Amino acid sequence: MNSKEMIQQRIEKLRKEVDKHRYLYHVLDKPEIDDSVYDSLLDELIKLEKENPEFHSATSPSQRVGGEILDKFSKVKHTVKQWSFDDVFDFEELKKWEEKIDKMAIKNNFELSDYGEIKYCVELKIDGLKVILNYKEGRLAQGATRGDGEIGEDVTSNIKTIKSIPLELPEKIDLIAVGEIWLGKNELEKINKERESQGEAKFANTRNAAAGSIRQLDSAVVAKRKLDSFIYDIEKMEIPNTQYPIPNEIQNSKLKNNSVSSLRGTPKQSSTLDDSKMFEITGSPRKFRVQNLLAKTKDASLPKSQIDELELLKNFGFKVNLNYRKCKSIEEIEEFYQEWVNKKDNENYELDGIVIKVNAKKIQDALGYTGKSPRWGVAYKFPAQRVTTVIEDIFVQVGRTGALTPVAHLRPVRVAGSVVSRATLHNEDEINRLDARIGDTVVIQKAGDVIPEVVSVVKNLRTGKEKKFKMPDVCPICGSIVKRENISISSSPLTACRPSFSGGARGGQAGVGNSERNPLCLTTSPPLSTK
């Protein structure tokens, strides 16, 4: 063996070793070596490939470090139209959805028993960026954004930097897989600290950060941001002629020496192998296991259920969110929903609901699609933390310390699980900062038990009829002159106005908020009373 052959062999072994530990760490979350050891192996691989460009491979783990800088992204026409789920927001709406699909299933000559023991596969709804991954002969050929559902953008160079996405599959198949790209909350915090130190605007949330990152023209920047993925759907799969021995017991399988193609799903999976042991088999990752899965399929149909599809994606080497649940009824779905409403904030990724899918593929196919959404699935959204509404009026409340707080009277809207009709504007300075006016469309938020607040104004929706608000010069409770807290007051014995009733400028409820910068009502009179 000459020196070049030895270098080539070393490169190939390094690629397998680095990819093995990439999968163990980023997909299975079962690292076997320290990060520094992994980095050392990867650095050696990059160095050898740079010194020996004739051994370049598009699927090498070294291609994940980024470096390609684009002028712009090219447009991509999706092979399969990208749909989105309809939403429901409470259990009653979920019941109506189930009634609707049951009627349609019966209309299509199905019995309710045809759903099977597990009626639904329920998955977490990740608040990230949808991407479409196109594999040709087992290699990642293209990664694209959803765009408008028909046309997206080619972001392949950026997708390759995401370590949880395989660059090569165990089999030379053509596959279109769909999933969500997301950024961890911990990574967002690091990125925002760095951006703030450089005088750049911070990302508002993890979704914005993920979307902004995946559309970076410099893939090296993307690589530094440590994006992650969860893959949840197979839209198209084509199995070429199998080139491996077929077990004797299934010599008559329809898959033998045939090509199988479908727009939905894949052969039913076998779960006899332990994921953590898959790299002990010689050859490409999971190769023989997937061959076994394909060979054991006794007909040319695709997975019989949504759960089978998730399991097969996992076996292909994709990262699948394992927090899905098999549900027999919508009552079980509601339990799952409430469970995650309570613990969603504990995860490192943002969640905005759950996705409910009919498990049986044959019923999915019968239910079909509307113009924009699948009938066989629905998104059950978590209570929104931020929504838009309109300021119908602004009034002032007097707190127990005498502080005057402006409060927005809102067009009623549901936020964080309850209907809200007012939100604090904190103080005069905040009104001026927001430039909030009566008649404005505004964004309000409510987190946990915190009082709703106005966080921004949608100024593009202004009509010109909005009215500016001015804080009063006299107390709406007692009529005394108001002063700012940080302005010196006279030495006269003054007592802060402390209304003991629920009243104010418009009925003036006391105690909504307080601030150092709020004006104070200062009066020599004792507090008013309803007695």
Residue 142 to residue 140: CA distance in whole angstroms: 6
Instruction: Yes or no: say if 318 and 290 are a contact pair by the CB < 8 Å rule.
Output: no
Neighbours of 288 (CB within 10 A): 16
Query: What's the rounded Cα separation, in Å, for the pair 32 and 27?
Result: 13
Nearest in space to 212 (alpha carbons), one of 165, 158, 161: 158
Q: Give residue 365's Cα distance to chain centre.
A: 26
Q: Two tokens at 515?
A: 């601030």
Ordered DSSP codes for 61-89: GGGGG---B-SSPPEEE-SS------EE-
Structure tokens at 38: 């992994």
Q: Are 264 and 234 in contact (CB under 8 A)?
A: yes
E strand or H helix that includes residue 222: helix 219-224
The candidate with the shortest Cα–Cα distance to 505, out of 487, 485, 519, 489, is 519
3-class SS string, 1-38: CCHHHHHHHHHHHHHHHHHHHHHHHHCCCCCCCCHHHH
> What tokens appear for 289 in the block?
């296991």
**If residue 102 lies in a helix (H) or strand (E), which one and from where to where?**
helix 91-107
Catalytic residue among 20, 125, 163, 268: 125
Handedness of CA 248, 273, 357, 133 (dihedral sign): negative
Of 488, 486, 473, 457, the residue nearest 521 (C-alpha): 473
Amino acid at 330: I
Q: For this structure, is 254 an active site residue?
A: no
Residue 25 burial (CB < 10 Å; 0-12/13-18/19+)? middle
DSSP 8-state code for residue 277: G
**Two structure tokens written together for 494:** 């003054």
Do the strands 377-381 and 87-88 form a parallel or antiparallel pair, or are they unpaired?
parallel
Helix (H) or strand (E) holding 306: helix 306-315
HEC string of 444-504 equals: EECCCCCCCEEEEECHHHCCCCCEECCCCCECCCCCCEEEECCCCCCCCCCEECCCCCCEC
Specify whether the CB–CB gap between 412 and 406 falls below 8 A.
no
Please check whether residue 301 is in contact with residue 266, taking contact to mean a CB–CB distance below 8 angstroms. Answer: no
Where in the sequence numbering do the catalytic residues fall?
125
